[in-house]
Amino acid sequence: METKIKLNVVHILAIVLCVFLTNPKLVGQNSDSLNFSKESQHFKFYSTNDDMIVLDSIAKTLERNYARITNHLGIQIDKKINVKVFPNLKTFHIAMNYPDAPDWVVGSCNGDELMMVSPLNPGSVHTYASLLQVIVHEFVHMAVSYSRGDKGWTVLPRWLSEGYAQYEAGQINDYIRKSVVASLKEKAPPTWAQLDTLSAMEFGNMNGYGLSVTIVEFLVVTYGLDKLVLLIKEPENIEVIYGLSINTLEKQWIQYLKHEQIE
């Protein structure tokens, strides 16, 4: 029973806080205790000695997803990406300069580094397996940032950024779809613009991750991945790219969720 509740919490709150910190002074207080431990074709890993045994799993997971994600976005990354594995939530949250973060905050992409909590010590919300999805999610954020060049990552609508990261990391399932549909019965969903005005914590607490990944899934299933990638590069042109108003797209998303015919 306890396990089931734990999994449900993971699915509802979904995933992670993704921070794209631009000020290097804000981070790194704890990074000194992490040593260079391993490298793979596209990544370099830093961890404590105790966490070295999980680096193979993390490296294999990232490498298995690397080509698909970079191909989808049409990019080449010309250097190895640093991945820092923190031994527990406390050291990770301090390194993020966010010492009181809730337990569901377990990964971030920080400039051109990825940071995560060790899957050996996932805390009260996540599991070993869900942390392996989290690091792929964080890599997607970084890849999206590369794909946008000078425009970077932060000006993307949050629903698009978080929705796409979850979509590529395989963080959608029937439980999430059903939780979003159930929430529609209680009240009208936020508009996509409203999802963008929330703080990161509000977004997480109101199932913003779940809502976002269903929006991205709807757009990909209905209109294809090429248009979504175009949207990631030019989100301001959403109505041109889809040939529809945002209002119509939002209505179609609800129809998609309810398995109604899209008009």
DSSP string, 150-207: GG-STTS-HHHHHHHHHHHTT---HHHHHHHHHHHHHSPPPPHHHHHHS-HHHHHHTT
> What is the DSSP-derived secondary structure letter of residue 15?
S
Helix 246-257 crosses helix 208-223 at what angle (to 10 degrees)? 100
Count of alpha carbons within 13 angstroms of residue 233, beta-carbon side: 13
Stretch binding Zn ion (CB under 5 A), from 10-18, 55-63, 67-75, 188-196: 10-18
Residue 18 binds Zn ion (CB under 5 A): yes
Between 51 and 138, CB nearer to Zn ion: 138
Question: How far is the CA of 221 from the CAs of 5, 230, 243, in angstroms?
Answer: 30, 15, 16
Task: Output the smallest distance, CB 209 to Zn ion, in A.
Answer: 8
Size of the residue set binding Zn ion (CB under 5 A): 3
Q: How far is the CB of 259 from Zn ion (least distance, A)?
A: 27
Nearer to Zn ion, 162 or 168 (CB): 162
Residues 81 to 100: which contact Zn ion by CB under 5 A? Answer: none
Q: Does 228 bind Zn ion (CB under 5 A)?
A: no
Choice between 18 and 85, CB closer to Zn ion: 18
| Contact between 115 and Zn ion per CB under 5 A | no
CB of 69 to Zn ion, least distance (A): 14
Smallest gap from residue 161 Cβ to Zn ion (A): 7
Q: For Zn ion, give the closer residue by CB, 14 or 89.
A: 14
Give the CA angle between residues 188, 102, 206 to the nearest 5°.
0
Q: At 128, is the secondary structure helix, strand, or coil?
A: helix
Q: Judged by CB, which is closer to Zn ion: 17, or 89?
A: 17
Phi, psi of 60 (to 5 degrees): -60, -40
Which C-beta is closer to Zn ion: that of 215 or that of 242? 215
Give the shortest CB-221-to-Zn ion separation in angstroms.
21
Buried b (16+ CB within 10 A) or exposed e, 69-94: bbebbebebeeebbbbbbbebebbbe
Residue of minimal Cβ distance to Zn ion? 18
Which residues from 119-178 bind Zn ion, rule CB under 5 A? Answer: 162, 165
Q: Say what angle helices 174-186 and 2-13 make with each other, to 10 degrees.
A: 70
Residue placing its CB nearer to Zn ion in the complex, 82 or 166: 166
Name the minimum Å distance from CB 204 to Zn ion.
Answer: 10
Helix, strand, coil share of the chain (percent; to 5): 60, 10, 30
Give the footprint of Zn ion on this chain (CB under 5 A). 18, 162, 165
